[in-house]
Amino acid sequence: MSTAKALRGRPRSEAVERAILEGVIKLIEDGVPLAEVSIELVARTAGVGKSTIYRRWSGREALFCDALRAAEPPEPELPGTSVRDDLIAILESIRRKGVVNRSSALLHNVHAQMKTQPRLWEAYHATVIQPRRLRTNEVLRRGQETGEIRTDLDVDLVNDLFVGPMLVRTMIRPSADLPETLPADVVDAVLAGLRPTG
């Protein structure tokens, strides 16, 4: 769900919103440090007033989160055919984001800078990362209910077992291969160890 606020009394202009988000991206692409990207600077770059931005976003943290989300590949539709298929779709999304981040100095630079700004990192975590974790947890709970995954393990831990290898490959080891087979390889390896025995 977008963090942008709907306008009251008149239809929301998608063109204006897109210009604002592109203004954020342009500033960062031009080398402006994230800490110096103010609402006033974004407004000037996008050719809008500051009030236009504040009607849509509560502040720079919410605006940055939407700009980053717009620059990333969209979240995948889960097939719903099996827990395995849904997990592969989720990990494939992480793999694609890793490919995009590697080819985009912008995203790599922004993610590195965000961690030095606690409020921005907290906002990104709350509006982008946490919803993704909750979605994966729902899939894993379904796997426990259907008997595909052991029920004696904490779902958050199981989530880390699936997502962890992908994050290592996409963020910690930037030169590691990201083959198209990687999501299925990870899912199958982890599921083999999580199936109930006996």
Supply the pLDDT for residue 171: 81
Residue 11 scores a pLDDT above 70: no
DSSP 94: H
Q: Is the pLDDT of residue 106 over 80?
A: no
CB under 8 Å, gap of 24 or more: what pairs does 113-121 form?
Answer: 113/33, 113/34, 113/35, 114/34, 114/64, 116/35, 117/34, 117/35, 119/61, 120/34, 120/60, 120/61, 120/64
Angle (deg, nearest 10), helices 60-71 and 105-114:
150
Segment 5-24 shows an average pLDDT of 72
Tokens 């827990």 sit at which residue? 83
7, two tokens: 């306008």
Q: How far is CA 173 from the centre of its chain?
A: 19
The Cα 24–Cα 27 span in angstroms is 5
The Cα angle at residue 57 between residues 30 and 61, in degrees rounded to 5 = 55
What tens digit of pLDDT does each residue of 117-156 get?
A: 888 888 888 888 899 999 999 999 999 999 999 999 999 9
Contact criterion met (CB below 8 Å) for 1 and 29: no
Q: Would you give the distance in Å from CA 159 to the centre of its chain?
A: 15
Least confident residue range of 64-78, 83-97, 100-114: 100-114
Tokens at residue 46, please?
Answer: 């996008």
Residue-level pLDDT at 90: 97
Average pLDDT over residues 38-43: 96
Distance CA 34, CA 196 (A): 47
The answer on pLDDT for 3 being more than 60 is no
Q: Is pLDDT at 163 greater than 50 in this prediction?
A: yes
Residue 111 has pLDDT above 80, yes or no: no
Comparing 3-7, 14-18, 71-75, the range with the smallest average pLDDT is 3-7
